Amino acid sequence: MFLDNPSSDNWLADKAGLFELAPAKINLALHVTGQRADGYHLLESIVTFADTGDRLAFCDVDADDFFVSGRFASLLPTSGEGRHGNLVLKARDMLRKALEDKGVSTPPVAIHLEKNLPVAAGIGGGSADAAAALRGLMRFWNASLPDAELAALCLSLGADVPMCLRGEPLLAKGIGEELTALPGLPSLALVLGNPLVGVSTPDIFRRLMQKDNPPIGAYDSDWIGFLRTLRNDLEPPARSLVREIDQISSLIGAEGTMLTRMSGSGATCFGIFPSFEAAERAVENLNGQKPEWYFQAVRTVGQG
């Protein structure tokens, strides 16, 4: 169900008692280092998370329900059925089955997804929503799964879901399941920009010619300097498919970034700024130039 104005029903204010943020995921670097026999690509990625994103709310009801609102709500499926079903509902159903198999009660729940992030944008929107649904439902049902079982459930929902469940600075390897915390990665001031052109991740990988690129290697305390030596191997094929990536990267870079790069499989690009105030000024300028596109100043999690 879509809600044009959920606040008019006081749904969030009066009924929901539990909330979860589904923060935007940013791939500060993404190296494609190989490909498995089953076709899955092997990656190394430095990942962090923003202080903004989608928002989920949960409340008691007599029968399961699902509501969607927000700027990008109309682009989402409201059913969990099929290959392209909504990941929030897939996460709910898979977690419920896993818990009920253990004899845990999972009463009906209404979930409200406030969709603030662009769809198919390379910032983990659907995966972040699924991870937030798992976190929220485990709190709502006062239940948990063993770490290994939860990790397997996350990975079955998507390669980005395990890292989104962690929600902290990470080095991700393999297909996304090998996660190492990066506690030394600082909080960064970023501008996220997206031309609101959806990108198909499989299409990007099909256009990737070189699939055994050098790994990230050892990192040091000069994070900005280190990140400048890295890359996103998916950016060249994404630029060849979506020409707007060239433009949005140039626009962000012209605002005085320390580094500009594409996140994930695109089309979202980010710029790292010296301060959050500088990022906010950049967003004001960028919105003036391209008011129909998506720009957002964010702080990422991390030291400081």
Strand (E) or helix (H) holding 111:
strand 109-114
Give the integer Cα–Cα distance in Å for 167 and 162: 9
Give the integer Cα–Cα distance in Å for 246 and 268: 11
- 119 sits in the region (left: phi over 0; alpha: psi -120 to 50; else beta) called beta
| Cα dihedral 290, 237, 191, 300 sign | positive
Q: At what angle do helices 125-140 and 147-157 cross, to 10 degrees?
A: 140
Q: Which listed residue (25, 90, 115, 173) is catalytic?
A: 25
Q: How far apart are the first and last CA of the chain?
A: 40
Report yes or no: 183 and 190 within 8 Å, Cβ to Cβ: no
Number of Cα atoms under 13 Å in the Cβ half of residue 267: 23
Angle in degrees, CA 63, 68, 71, rounded to 5: 170
Specify burial of residue 40 (Cβ count, 10 A radius: 0-12, 13-18, 19+).
middle
Active-site residue flag, 93 = no
Q: Which listed residue (54, 129, 160, 233) is catalytic?
A: 160
The DSSP result for 153-179, as a single string, is HHHHH-TTHHHHHH-S-EEEEETTTEE
Active-site residue flag, 115 = no
- Active site positions, annotated: 25, 160
